[in-house]
Structure 1
Amino acid sequence: MAPLNRALADSATGVAALLAEVGDTRVKWVEVFRDRLVVHPARQSEGAVIAAQLGITVATDYPATTPGFTMWTGRWNDLDLFVYSELRGTTRVVRSWPT
């Protein structure tokens, strides 16, 4: 995790570097925090490709939401980075707790 005393301006500079690396048109918006960036691709189908381009390899699937999605997480340029993408593989049925 990045140091808590990191300046918000440093993260904002990280956004400019990120957009230069992956392409401005491929990103819909970026959430900026002092120690992390959350990337929302223009097309969720490109999320995994964007994550791979940035060297992000850890993925967590969230199939219980509608629609489901995958969150790619890792470190990039001394920032924690999260990239949304479409759910990997086929959609799985998620069972709820018995009532």
Structure 2
Amino acid sequence: MATIAGSLADSAAGAAELLAEVGDARVKWVEVFRDHLVVHPARLIEGADIAAQLGITAATDYPATRPGFTVWTGRWNGMDMFVYGALRGSMRAPRSWPA
């Protein structure tokens, strides 16, 4: 896929290419949208490695959830990609509002 996906069929084909590149066994499921894919690794700890393999380097951490997680975002083969992964860095307790 050299161009931005314009149809759901293009995105589905992109999902097939993605699974061929990173390995089907490493992915639990892929959400397919017309203009992007969301990857959920079989093991959350592999999310960062999958993102790196796809050339995705931007990350946003979400430590306030249980468990915390990181979402890696970027572009791969002309598509926007989101890859879930384990929370980076040290684990700290989520903040809560004062009671």
CA separation in 2, counterparts of 1:37 and 1:95?
30
Describe the SS at the equivalent of 1:21. helix
- RMSD value, Cα: 1.7
- Unaligned 5+ residue runs, structure 1? none
More deviation, 87-96/42-51? 87-96
C-alpha deviations, 1:54-91, integer Å up to 9, x for none? 00000000000010000000001111100000000111
Q: Percent identity?
A: 73
- Structure 1-normalised TM-score? 0.91
Displacement after TM superposition at 1:96 (Å): 2.6
Describe the SS at the equivalent of 1:46. helix
Q: Which amino acid aligns with 1:79?
A: M
Provide the residue aligned with 1:6 in structure 2.
6
- Structure 2-normalised TM-score? 0.91
- Unaligned 5+ residue runs, structure 2? none
Provide the residue aligned with 2:69 in structure 1.
69
Which of structure 1's runs of 4+ aligned residues deviate more than 4 A?
A: none
Provide the residue aligned with 2:17 in structure 1.
17
Any residues of structure 2 matched to 1:19-98 within 5 Å, and which?
Answer: 19-98=19-98
CA separation in 1, counterparts of 2:96 and 2:43?
29
